[in-house]
Structure 1
Amino acid sequence: MNQQLVIPFPNSISVHIKREDLIHPFVSGNKFRKLKYNLLQAKEEKAVTLLTFGGAYSNHIAAVAFAGKENGFKTIGIIRGDELRDKIVGNPTLEFAQSCGMQLEFVSREEYRLKNEIPFLENIKEKYGDFYLIPEGGTNELAVKGCQEILTEKDSQFDYICCAVGTGGTISGIINSALPHQKVLGFPALKGDFLKDEIRIFAQNENWELLTDYHFGGYGKINQDLIAFINQFYAENQIPLDPIYTGKMVFGVIDLINKNYFPPHSKILLIHTGGIQGIQGMNLKLKNKKLPTINIYV
């Protein structure tokens, strides 16, 4: 659905937000899109087990755990950080994944970097048997195919399509389905320009640009300005934003509007990719640091 934001913008610029976070209560936003065709493929291959990777507060881990349970699969999550083995209790994401039946395997950060190497995967297969592999973040060709369905004919009115960028799968699908008159703007949650190469693996068009000044220090990093923005945005619009992805993207778009980046009368569509489940975990970290928390009920 599209929902117009109740925010006055100069130069007759209009902004709408596509609430992909409302698709499903547990497999929301881009995770629903990425898993759609992967689940169908796993069923076609008669797979019994889904295996994937993620961090302590991963939206992807939570989504695969629930989707696997609902679709009759066993699930295995390879979790970055062997120190987390004894810290499942109190971690809302890992507790949720485990409650869905996901078996959690904790590996060191050094081992985790080898997750795409054949010897690492062979060792996992020797331990757990055959599985259907879903990459970290869910990005592969089938995920991009699902993300191509985010935009519909109703979205043809917009000049700019904006979304957060993690592994590059979501924006690749949007790039492929955007119309010739539309420009896709990506707001990476990670530092650096390396994502361009990842996106070009899947994206077929050149109607896009990455805006790399809104990562707030890198993946998983936030500050009090971002927290205040998310809280104010929710108070004014009753739309929750997650602090890892969509919150940074919306902050960036509004900042660019105020800096006259967009031409007058531009019509902008923001893609809300979900990730709301991660707020609980982020608030735990903020409380431990005695910082303000995100005041959104989830």
Structure 2
Amino acid sequence: MNQKIPIQFPNNISVYIKREDLIHPFVSGNKFRKLKYNLLQAKKESATTLLTFGGAYSNHIAAVAFAGKEQHFKTIGVIRGEELVTKVQENPTLKFAQECGMQFEFVSREDYRLKQEEAFMIRLKEKHGFFYLIPEGGTNALAIQGCEEILTKEDAVFDYVCCAVGTGGTISGIINSALPDQKVLGFPALKGDFLKDEICTFVKNKNWELIQNYHFGGYGKVNQELVTFINHFYEETKIPLDPIYTGKMVFGILDLIQKNYFPANSKILLIHTGGLQGVAGMNERLKNKKLPIIKIHD
């Protein structure tokens, strides 16, 4: 559903948001898209176990756990941070995943960096047997195939299509399915230019750009300005945003509009990629820092 944002913008610019967060109550947004064809492939390979990777508040971990439960897979999450082994019940994301039946393997941050090494994978296979591997963040060729279905025929009227960028899979699918006269803008949640090379491995089209100025210090970094913006946006539109991805993207778009980045009469589509399950964990961190919390419902 494309929902018009009820804010008056200058130069006759109109902004809509595609509510991908509403397509599933627990596997929402881009996670639903990324898992769709991976789960079909896992069944095709007669796999009964899904194994994946993530951090303490990973939307991907929560989504794989629920999708596995729903479709009768055993799930294993390799989690970054050995200290989390005693903190599962205090962490809303890990607690949810565990309640969905996910088995955890906690590893040090040093070992986690080696997760793509052959020796690391051999150890996992020796311990867990045969499993279907889903990469961290869910991005692979099958995930991008799923994300190519985000845009539909009704979206052909938009001049710009914008989304947050984590591992690069979602924007790659959008770039592949966007029309030649549409410009795709990505708003990375991480610092650094490495994402451009990642995206280039999956796309051939050139009608895209990464806007690097709205990561708020890097992945998982949030300040009072962003929290205030998210809460004000919700008060005005009743559209909840997460602080890691979509909140930063929407902040960036509205700032660029004020700076006359977009030509007059532009029609802009924002992709809401979900991620709202992570708000509970972020709010715990904000409370500990004595900062305002994020509101995603009345």
Bin for the TM-score computed over the shorter chain: over 0.9
Please report how far the alpha carbon of residue 203 of structure 1 lies from its aligned counterpart in structure 2 after TM superposition: 1.2
Give the letter aligned to residue 202 of structure 2.
F
Counterpart-to-counterpart distance in 1, 2:204 and 2:131:
30
Q: Aligned residue for 1:258? A: 258
Q: Aligned residue for 1:219? A: 219
Q: Aligned residue for 2:184? A: 184
Please report how far the alpha carbon of residue 291 of structure 1 lies from its aligned counterpart in structure 2 after TM superposition: 1.0
Identical columns (%): 76
Provide, for residues 247-274 of structure 1, a one-character-per-residue CA deviation record: whole Å limited to 9, x for no partner: 0000000000000000000000000000
Counterpart-to-counterpart distance in 1, 2:64 and 2:54:
10
Q: Aligned residue for 2:277? A: 277
Counterpart-to-counterpart distance in 1, 2:292 and 2:181:
42
Please report how far the alpha carbon of residue 204 of structure 1 lies from its aligned counterpart in structure 2 after TM superposition: 1.9
Counterpart-to-counterpart distance in 2, 1:264 and 1:215:
26
Counterpart-to-counterpart distance in 1, 2:297 and 2:137:
25
Q: SS state of the match for residue 202, structure 1?
A: coil
Alignment of 1:79-98 (within 5 A): 79-98=79-98
Query: In the alignment, is the contact (CA less than 8 A) between 2:88 and 2:94 conserved in 1?
Result: yes
Counterpart-to-counterpart distance in 2, 1:297 and 1:27:
19
Please report how far the alpha carbon of residue 162 of structure 1 lies from its aligned counterpart in structure 2 after TM superposition: 0.2
Q: SS state of the match for residue 283, structure 1?
A: helix
Point out where structure 2 has 5 or more consecutive residues left out of the alignment: none
Counterpart-to-counterpart distance in 1, 2:264 and 2:153:
23
Q: Aligned residue for 1:137? A: 137
Give the letter aligned to residue 214 of structure 2.
Y
Q: Aligned residue for 1:154? A: 154
Counterpart-to-counterpart distance in 1, 2:280 and 2:125:
33
Counterpart-to-counterpart distance in 2, 1:105 and 1:35:
21
Give the letter aligned to residue 21 of structure 2.
D
Provide, for residues 62-110 of structure 1, a one-character-per-residue CA deviation record: whole Å limited to 9, x for no partner: 0000000111100000000000000001100000000000001100000
Q: SS state of the match for residue 115, structure 2?
A: coil
Q: Aligned residue for 1:4? A: 4
Q: Aligned residue for 2:34? A: 34
Query: In the alignment, is the contact (CA less than 8 A) between 2:11 and 2:264 conserved in 1?
Result: yes
Counterpart-to-counterpart distance in 1, 2:204 and 2:146:
15
Alignment of 1:101-250 (within 5 A): 101-250=101-250
Counterpart-to-counterpart distance in 2, 1:275 and 1:197:
24
Provide, for residues 184-206 of structure 1, a one-character-per-residue CA deviation record: whole Å limited to 9, x for no partner: 00000000111000000111211
Q: SS state of the match for residue 296, structure 1?
A: coil
Give the letter aligned to residue 153 of structure 1.
K
Matched residues, number: 298
What CA RMSD, in Å, does the superposition of the two structures yield over aligned residues? 0.7
Q: Aligned residue for 1:296? A: 296
Counterpart-to-counterpart distance in 1, 2:204 and 2:35:
21
Q: SS state of the match for residue 75, structure 1?
A: strand
Q: SS state of the match for residue 76, structure 2?
A: strand
Provide, for residues 167-223 of structure 1, a one-character-per-residue CA deviation record: whole Å limited to 9, x for no partner: 000000000000011000000000011100000011121110000000000000011
Q: SS state of the match for residue 89, structure 1?
A: helix
Counterpart-to-counterpart distance in 1, 2:296 and 2:185:
27
Counterpart-to-counterpart distance in 2, 1:92 and 1:255:
32
Point out where structure 1 has 5 or more consecutive residues left out of the alignment: none
Query: What is the TM-score with the length of structure 1 in the denominator?
Result: 0.99
Please report how far the alpha carbon of residue 297 of structure 1 lies from its aligned counterpart in structure 2 after TM superposition: 3.2
Counterpart-to-counterpart distance in 2, 1:272 and 1:237:
14
Counterpart-to-counterpart distance in 1, 2:15 and 2:295:
24
Query: In the alignment, is the contact (CA less than 8 A) between 2:240 and 2:295 conserved in 1?
Result: no
Please report how far the alpha carbon of residue 296 of structure 1 lies from its aligned counterpart in structure 2 after TM superposition: 2.1
Alignment of 1:72-83 (within 5 A): 72-83=72-83
Counterpart-to-counterpart distance in 2, 1:133 and 1:267:
39
Query: In the alignment, is the contact (CA less than 8 A) between 2:34 and 2:139 conserved in 1?
Result: yes
